[in-house]
Structure 1
């Protein structure tokens, strides 16, 4: 049995929620070792804010890379993944690129997008076509204002489907706009594929 995707329980846990959703996308519940979930939350929410408060800034890209490396090396009979951390110019929505290849092979892509100049957010991308990128956004939204149709909330159906679609050309922008990958130096993504 596959588990439905989860939503964030705070303003800051988009990364561990996106990673656990990616694992749920790729594996049935009985195939997921508890050690995997433990390590995802152990490494994430590592930033330190004002007054020495952990996690207030969410999860750093170093922690995303660390979780990816750990997942790459952890092997069980029913659980094995290959991950790849992309950054800067490697993060591209170009046809035939690494992101599109990962999705066409049945993998998932965790993309860091901009919500504002200072607010970043991780989405789980499950598919794309020539026009749209289909994502599960762990931050529950009923609608999106002011996007002129560039990003739309969609019906998630069975709880295991995309709940957000973003125009591919919009997401690829280098400008600081909502639901975009943004400037090249800020870009980061984690690709996760199941290994049989």
Structure 2
């Protein structure tokens, strides 16, 4: 039942499992060019934090509307995501916010929108930090900013997919205009990483 489990432990499991999965996937794809300890540190701040803040945003808005809301980790999917990551691929399904209490369609839409909106804001913040940390020649923070932008842009656009339990389906069901607007922003943030002037920012020491 909602609220019976230790939510801090649930969040910690989701953060740790997501961090490990993203780190293993990046380490495997890179052929070890990024050391595993460094990958873990970077992913803890970028992927792990991005996923937890996404879920906490859902919870905060649901509670704002008077719903009893708690996060529960999906233990089996966390294990699957770590195992799949060893092949260089990602399956991100760390858990979800469960709530009870009546919510209108608008309120449900706002609860859903809070998650991807959080990732999009994080993507913008991290992207703005890329040239700053490059200028300051702080390599570790530079890599955090680059990965933070790429990962949160991915999380933002992925969660706008209008299918099944994904946030995009609930947002579309609530308001098509808001769905189109958020999906467009998410897609733009994601594809920007492939533009020449943005890719130039990813060259450390340019």
Task: Give your verdict on TM over 0.5.
Answer: no
Greater relative contact order (CA < 8 Å, ≥ 6 in sequence) = 1
Rg comparison, structure with higher value: 2
TM-score, normalising length from structure 1? 0.30
- Which has more strand, going by share of residues? 1
TM-score, normalising length from structure 2? 0.29
